């Protein structure tokens, strides 16, 4: 009960923030009612997906300060679980998604337990390594289509299949992921004020102080890593139904892992709105640059250069990201 | 049975012996001062007792339980809290939220932690700072926040590491009153590392002196301030001349 009340309680933010957040939320809900291109719609869906990835990353990477660059492996586990179960046994999304989350969380314990003996850069590198190894395994695993990947061929389009999450129109995907997005915001609003959320900030600042306050530092990290993983895996499952074609090189690439972490850091790691702001900046930018500049001969890859530049500028100017700049103009940190 | 018993505790860092064969015991309800020159091994001793450093040899018994090999968070959960010279739990959190981190050791409920934190801050006379970030406060208030955070876990024994360092005489009087409040009214046994002799000598029941990692003296404040080894190692001739033993300074 108290958890639900805390999740719904945003009262520690200034009224301005709440008005802005509320308006943006309403704009999202009514967005499909207005004329829009399919490009805008797919960008919106990507944005919501990456916001959710970022929220997951933010638990361990932001509040916990453990820079994790291996989230793509859990996108993969979620996506592959859903795709395989749908193709082979016609299992609905709502069943395969929790199963994918379960596999992801089990895997996260297996690698998280030893990995959290490492700190800082060593931890970050180790997460990259595990993610790449898992990707390579999927590339040679025939059961999941090896490097070719898997293709979900829709059995039927009409009526919209809410059970398997197979739709012809993107608008249905939009509303499903928007629902996840709102739930994600509420969860994160609870999380940042929870016992674990507070303990993580203590761990981030000084692990010895955290220990002396009775916090089992290693276990708190492993637990949080599992939470982050569950988030990412859930969206990974959605990704499979939405894209309908998954392959290791695409779904589990290092690019995805880095993009997830960068977005959250750009927006403001360790803050509620940070990952959403970061995704709101980077995803449209990435899509548009790819669409307009990437197609020009000789400009292939320029999108990567431009967004690398933005990241460099932001991190030099304000390491706490865009939200850090907002906080600078206020006296109070609100995370 | 002693409340805290440290016997033959030795701690080596590589070739350096930071604590050498330290033995002492503490009764429930006592208030002990731990003094000694810089580098004498006082903080190392605290780190060993609170489980942050594994000891090289020797043992620690706390409340009838051998805690020598326990991890730090387990020691804390047994009711042995401490403060650090670095200040609060987290710079991202407000004062109240920092104290709540301590409260969360005993409860999972946010509402209960919040109420308890508010109560503790009021008790230590820093209730009005609750919604500030820790680094926005003056040093004296920051020191109280560390104390409040440690107390928040409802400890039986509290180790205070230099809570009066860098404070002016008024602030020292205030923090001394707070320590007394914690000890007398809240019933928490206290051991404190301190360089501010006025404070140590006035409130300690007993004083232990470390020098080069060894315990060189132990006794009531009056005896300690007259002990020639302590004067030579730490207090210096000037302190004794100014204070002339404890008789005069007590007035």
Alpha helices in B56-185 (DSSP H): 72-77, 95-103, 110-123, 139-151, 169-180
Q: What is the nearest CA distance from B163 to chain A, expressed in angstroms? A: 15
Nearest by CB to A211, which of B73, B108, B149?
B73
- Per 3-state DSSP, chain B is made up of helix, strand and coil in percentages (nearest 5) of 45, 25, 35
Q: Does B149 contact A at CB distance below 8 Å?
A: yes
Verify whether the Cβ–Cβ distance B77 to A214 is below 8 Å.
yes
Nearest by CB to B105, which of A204, A209, A214?
A214
| d(C-alpha A142, C-alpha A296), whole Å | 37
Model confidence band, residue A303 (pLDDT cutoffs 50, 70, 90):
low
Please tell me the total count of domains within chain A.
Answer: 1
For A254, phi then psi, to 5°, come to -60, -35
Task: Kindly list the residues from chain B whose CB atom is less than 8 angstroms away from the CB atom of residue A198.
Answer: 90, 93, 97, 100-101, 104
Task: Kindly list the residues from chain A whose CB atom is less than 8 angstroms away from the CB atom of residue B109.
Answer: 2
| Contacts with B171 (C-beta within 8 Å, 6 or more apart), sequence order | B140, B164
Q: How many Cα atoms within 13 Å fall on the side-chain side of residue B216?
A: 22
Return the exposure string of A232-261: e unless at least 16 CB atoms fall within 10 Å of the residue's CB, then b: bbbbbbbbbbbeeebbbebbbbeebbebbb
Q: What is the nearest CA distance from A211 to chain B, expressed in angstroms? A: 5
| Contacts with B251 (C-beta within 8 Å, 6 or more apart), sequence order | none
Q: What is the pLDDT of residues A138-181, one digit of tens each?
A: 988 888 887 788 888 776 666 778 888 888 888 999 999 999 99
- Given a cut of 60, whether residue A92 has pLDDT beyond it is yes
Which residue's structure tokens are 């492993």?
A222
Residue A308 falls inside a structural domain: no
Q: Average pLDDT of A12-31?
A: 92
CA separation, residue A192 to residues A63, A165, A270 (Å): 8, 31, 9
Nearest by CB to A205, which of B76, B90, B150?
B90
As a residue count, chain A comes to: 335
Residue A199 falls inside a structural domain: yes
Evaluate whether A315 touches A261 at the Cβ level (below 8 Å).
Answer: no
Cα of first residue to Cα of last residue in chain A, in angstroms, is: 23
Verify whether the Cβ–Cβ distance B153 to A213 is below 8 Å.
yes
Q: What is the pLDDT of residues B206-216, one digit of tens each?
A: 999 999 999 99
| Contacts with A153 (C-beta within 8 Å, 6 or more apart), sequence order | A244
Q: Average pLDDT of A102-114?
A: 95
Chain centroid to Cα B81, Å, comes to 9
| d(C-alpha A196, C-alpha A207), whole Å | 14
Residue A106 falls inside a structural domain: yes
Give the domain extent around A197. 2-254
- Given a cut of 50, whether residue B29 has pLDDT beyond it is yes
Q: Average pLDDT of B114-128?
A: 92
* Spatial CA neighbour of A278 closest among A21, A65, A126, A54: A54
pTM of the full predicted structure? 0.89
Chain centroid to Cα A274, Å, comes to 12
What burial class does residue B241 get, using C-beta atoms within 10 Å of its C-beta: 0-12 exposed, 13-18 middle, 19+ buried?
Answer: exposed
Find residue B211's DSSP bridge partners: B214
What is the pairing mode between strands B65-66 and B57-62?
antiparallel
Q: Average pLDDT of A284-311?
A: 73
Point out the least confidently predicted range of A122-136, A226-240, B82-96, B117-131: B82-96
Residue A15 falls inside a structural domain: yes
Q: What is the pLDDT of residues A26-81, one digit of tens each?
A: 999 999 998 888 889 999 999 999 999 999 999 999 999 998 999 999 999 999 99
Q: What is the nearest CA distance from A220 to chain B, expressed in angstroms? A: 12
Q: Average pLDDT of B238-250?
A: 56
Provide the pLDDT for residue B3.
92
Provide the pLDDT for residue A208.
92
Task: Kindly list the residues from chain A whose CB atom is less than 8 angstroms away from the CB atom of residue B77.
Answer: 214
- Given a cut of 80, whether residue A100 has pLDDT beyond it is yes
DSSP secondary structure string for all residues of A236-272? HHHHHHHH-EE-HHHHT-HHHHHHHHHHHHHH-TTSS
| d(C-alpha B190, C-alpha B31), whole Å | 5
Instruction: Identify which has the larger pLDDT, A329 or A27.
Output: A27
Q: Does B90 contact A at CB distance below 8 Å?
A: yes
Q: What is the nearest CA distance from A115 to chain B, expressed in angstroms? A: 19
Q: What is the nearest CA distance from B228 to chain A, expressed in angstroms? A: 36
Provide the pLDDT for residue A335.
57
CA separation, residue A66 to residues A73, A107, A131, A134, A235 (Å): 17, 18, 16, 21, 21
Point out the least confidently predicted range of A118-132, A279-293, B144-158, B180-194: A279-293
Provide the pLDDT for residue A45.
95
Residue A100 falls inside a structural domain: yes
Task: Kindly list the residues from chain B whose CB atom is less than 8 angstroms away from the CB atom of residue A332.
Answer: 133
Verify whether the Cβ–Cβ distance B110 to A332 is below 8 Å.
no
E-strand spans in chain B?
4-13, 16-26, 31-35, 57-62, 65-66, 80-82, 157-161, 189-193, 206-211, 214-219
| d(C-alpha A56, C-alpha B116), whole Å | 30
CA separation, residue A316 to residues A254, A312, A319 (Å): 24, 6, 6
Q: What is the nearest CA distance from A210 to chain B, expressed in angstroms? A: 7
Residue A151: which H helix or E strand, with range?
strand A150-151
Residue A283 falls inside a structural domain: no
Model confidence band, residue A295 (pLDDT cutoffs 50, 70, 90):
low
Residue A103 falls inside a structural domain: yes
- Given a cut of 50, whether residue B26 has pLDDT beyond it is yes
Verify whether the Cβ–Cβ distance B92 to A198 is below 8 Å.
no
Give, to the nearest 10 degrees, the angle between helix A274-288 and helix A38-57: 140
Verify whether the Cβ–Cβ distance A208 to B72 is below 8 Å.
yes
- Given a cut of 60, whether residue A279 has pLDDT beyond it is yes
As a residue count, chain B comes to: 251
Chain pair A-B, CB pairs under 8 angstroms: 85
What mean pLDDT value characterizes chain A? 88
Q: Which chain A residue lies closest to B111 (C-alpha atoms)? A: A2
- Given a cut of 70, whether residue B190 has pLDDT beyond it is yes
Q: What is the nearest CA distance from A68 to chain B, expressed in angstroms? A: 20
Task: Kindly list the residues from chain B whose CB atom is less than 8 angstroms away from the CB atom of residue A6.
Answer: 110
DSSP state of A161: B
Which residue's structure tokens are 């009153």?
B177
Residue A275 falls inside a structural domain: no
Model confidence band, residue B250 (pLDDT cutoffs 50, 70, 90):
very low
The answer, yes or no, to whether ipTM is higher than 0.85 is yes
Find residue B193's DSSP bridge partners: B34, B161
Nearest by CB to A205, which of B77, B91, B104?
B91
Q: How many Cα atoms within 13 Å fall on the side-chain side of residue A147?
A: 2
Q: Average pLDDT of A18-29?
A: 94
Task: Kindly list the residues from chain A whose CB atom is less than 8 angstroms away from the CB atom of residue B145.
Answer: none
- Given a cut of 90, whether residue B191 has pLDDT beyond it is yes
**Tokens representing A29?**
């809900």
Nearest by CB to A209, which of B84, B105, B109?
B84
Model confidence band, residue B247 (pLDDT cutoffs 50, 70, 90):
very low
B187: three-class secondary structure by DSSP: coil
């Amino acid at each position: 009960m108290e958890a639900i009340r805390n999740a719904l309680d945003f009262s520690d933010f200034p009224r301005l923030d709440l008005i802005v957040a509320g308006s943006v939320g309403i704009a999202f809900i009514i967005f499909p009612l207005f004329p829009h291109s399919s490009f805008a719609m797919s960008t919106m869906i990507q944005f919501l997906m990456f916001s959710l990835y970022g929220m997951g990353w933010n638990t361990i990477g932001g509040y916990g300060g453990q820079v994790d660059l291996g989230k793509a492996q859990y996108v993969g586990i979620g996506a592959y679980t859903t795709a395989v179960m749908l193709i082979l046994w016609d299992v609905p999304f709502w069943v395969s998604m929790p199963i994918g989350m379960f596999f992801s969380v089990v895997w996260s314990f297996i690698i998280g337990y030893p990995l959290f003996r490492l700190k800082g850069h060593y931890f970050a590198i180790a997460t990259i390594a595990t993610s790449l190894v898992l990707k390579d395994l999927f590339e040679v695993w025939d059961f999941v289509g090896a490097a070719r990947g898997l293709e979900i061929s829709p059995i039927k389009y009409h009526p919209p299949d809410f059970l398997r999450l197979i739709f012809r129109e993107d608008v249905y995907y939009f509303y499903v992921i928007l629902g996840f997005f709102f739930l994600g915001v509420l969860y994160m609003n609870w999380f940042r004020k929870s016992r674990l959320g507070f303990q993580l900030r203590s761990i981030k600042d000084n692990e010895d102080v955290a220990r002396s306050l009775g916090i089992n530092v290693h276990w708190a990290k492993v637990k949080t890593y599992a939470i982050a993983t569950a988030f990412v895996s859930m969206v990974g499952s959605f990704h499979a139904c939405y894209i309908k074609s998954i392959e290791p090189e695409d779904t589990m690439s290092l690019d995805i892992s880095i993009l997830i972490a960068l977005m959250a850091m750009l927006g403001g790691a360790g803050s509620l709105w940070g990952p959403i702001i970061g995704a709101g900046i980077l995803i449209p930018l990435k899509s548009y640059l790819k669409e307009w500049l990437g197609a020009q001969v000789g400009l292939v890859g320029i999108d990567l250069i431009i967004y690398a530049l933005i990241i460099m500028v932001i991190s030099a100017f304000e390491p706490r990201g865009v939200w850090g700049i907002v906080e600078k103009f206020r006296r109070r940190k609100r995370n | 049975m002693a409340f805290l018993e440290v016997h033959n505790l030795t701690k080596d860092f590589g070739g350096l012996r930071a604590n050498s064969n330290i033995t002492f015991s503490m009764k429930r309800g006592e208030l002990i001062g731990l003094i000694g020159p810089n580098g004498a091994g006082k903080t190392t001793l605290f780190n060993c007792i609170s489980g942050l450093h594994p000891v090289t040899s020797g043992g620690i018994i706390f409340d009838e339980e051998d805690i020598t090999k326990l991890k730090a968070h387990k020691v804390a959960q047994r009711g042995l809290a401490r403060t650090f010279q670095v200040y609060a739990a987290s710079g991202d959190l407000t004062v109240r939220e920092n104290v709540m981190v301590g409260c969360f050791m005993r409860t999972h409920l946010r509402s209960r932690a919040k109420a308890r934190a508010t109560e503790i801050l009021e008790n230590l006379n820093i209730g009005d700072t609750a919604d500030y970030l820790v680094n926005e406060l003056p040093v004296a208030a920051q020191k109280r926040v560390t104390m409040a955070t440690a107390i928040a876990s409802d400890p039986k024994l509290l180790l205070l590491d230099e809570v009066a360092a860098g404070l002016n005489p008024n602030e020292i009087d205030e923090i001394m009153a707070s320590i007394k409040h914690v000890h007398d009214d809240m019933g928490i046994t206290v051991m404190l590392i301190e360089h501010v002799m006025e404070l140590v000598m006035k409130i300690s029941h007993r004083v232990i002196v470390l020098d080069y990692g060894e315990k060189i003296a132990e006794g009531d404040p009056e005896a300690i301030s007259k002990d020639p080894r302590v004067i030579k190692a730490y207090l210096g001739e000037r302190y004794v001349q100014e204070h002339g033993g404890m008789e005069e300074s007590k007035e």
